[in-house]
Amino acid sequence: MRSAMSTPIPTETLRQSVKPVVSAVNGLCQGGGLQIALCSDMTVVSDRATFRVPELLCGIADTYYSQMLARLIGPVRTRDLMFTGRTLTAHEAHEWGMVARVAPDRACGSQPSQVEPRHLPRFFDRIGMQASYSSPEALEGFRAFKERRSPAWMHPDLQLDGRL
């Protein structure tokens, strides 16, 4: 049996790819999908695409977002997304530098060998993220998600009807 630390993490595989990784988004992009888009060398989206970071609304401290988003969009915008869980449109994501372009057509006109892959630092705090899974906030967040309501610890003005 392999330990959790020896299991390859998909985002690490993308970040270490010797070939450019291109992502296409057409719809809601959050969670693992957003992490893939953030690790890609180029992300092209349709004008219907939306982006959000909902983990903190469920009580999970996902440190991967904070380190990746801060590099792409800066710390102020990163805190905005992570603390509010609000949804960005495709055009806002493009203006903020999260995606390369908003286009329904072909994404890449160059051959992969013509593009240098970017090399990002390979650090994020998996231990802190895993520790947050069993916190009281996370347990209430998961329970609230299952019951299709906002967590009790969320400010009343920010609570939503139905699933987050």
Residues with a known catalytic role: 55
Count CB atoms within 10 A of the CB of residue 105.
7
Tell me the two tokens of residue 126: 């998996």
Antiparallel, parallel or unpaired: β 42-45 and 22-25: parallel
SS3 129: helix
Q: Which of 27, 132, 35 is nearest to 87 (CA)?
A: 27
